[in-house]
Chains A and B, each alone.
Chain A
Amino acid sequence: MNVGLNEYLILSALLFAVGFLGVLVRKNTLVIYMCLELMLVASTIALVAFSRFNGTLDGNVFVFFILTVAAAEVAVGLAIIVALFRKRGTVQVEELNALKN
């Protein structure tokens, strides 16, 4: 085990930052959703690294549950996006301004 905990944590922070950048700059709801998934996966890297360096399995079991919840969340989120597309005919965030005025 040569690679330290810090390398894993910096990788996790970097991946989270890239995902956050995507959420901020992209205008397509689907791509924003993909970037949200990236942020979720980045946080799981930190959990697995902490679990490995602590020598306990609890962090890994947490990540197991996070994967399950993420699968359910993606299904529901994509169903919402499809419903939105059927109602409005677009998935660009700048055109989804029904709450304005």
Chain B
Amino acid sequence: MEHTLFYLFSALTVGSALAVVLHKNTVNAAVCLLLSLLGVAGIFALLDALLLSVLLILVYAGAVVALFLFIVMLLKPQTKPNKPYKKISIAAGAFGAALLGLGLCSFVTRGQFPTAPAAEVFHAGLKDYGAMLFTTYLLPVQVVGFLLLIAMLGVIVLSKKFEGQEDAK
């Protein structure tokens, strides 16, 4: 059962990630990113991190992908076709991909994997998260709050139109 679910979610994740890379249309790529993130949320649920899987869907599907779609529709779609790749970059890309594939293959076939079982006891309830966030990780929580404030101010300044600034036609 767990194996089936794992391979199902893995296939969904990697397949949709490949679709993000290969799809010509940016809107379709964003929707495929959403599918891929749903697969990752399933993987998190398999790893007993239910809070993280819900948060991933809320933050990524609810905020990030929606923001991506909004920006994609705001910007002008590309009209002229891409310039073809140079010969040297095709050769370098093929070489790099071959190297990466070989490395992954030798890693899977010849690697000496430790086969440690998962820890038996694993508490990942909301109470445990709260206890950690308000004791050990109290300072990071404050820093992250400050970071969100700074990011908000930064976005406002970046998207504001200043006097004398000219737009491209």
Contact = CB atoms under 8 A, between A and B. Distances in A.
Same assembly: yes
Interface of A: 1-8, 10-11, 13-15, 17-19, 21-22, 24-28, 30-31, 33-35, 37-38, 41, 44-45, 48-49, 51-55, 57-58, 60-61, 63-65, 67-76, 78-83, 85-92, 94
Interface of B: 2-3, 6, 10, 13-14, 17-18, 20-21, 26, 29-30, 33, 36-37, 40, 43-44, 46-49, 51-52, 55-56, 59-60, 63-64, 67-68, 71-72, 74-76, 78, 82-83, 93, 96-97, 100, 104, 107-108, 113-124, 128-129, 132-133, 136-137, 140, 144, 147-148, 151-152, 154-155, 158-159, 167-169
A14 B14 contact: yes
Contact of A11 (B13, B26, B119, B128): B13
Contacts of A52: 47-49, 118-119, 122
A41 B40 contact: yes
Nearest to A12: B43
Contact of B17 (A1, A18, A64, A89): A18
Contacts of B71: 30, 78, 81-82
A61 B133 contact: yes
B65 to A, nearest CB: 9
A39 to B, nearest CB: 10
A94 to B, nearest CB: 6
Given A61-B132, A83-B159, A85-B75, A5 B116 contact: yes
Contacts of B68: 30, 33-34, 74, 78
A44 to B, nearest CB: 8
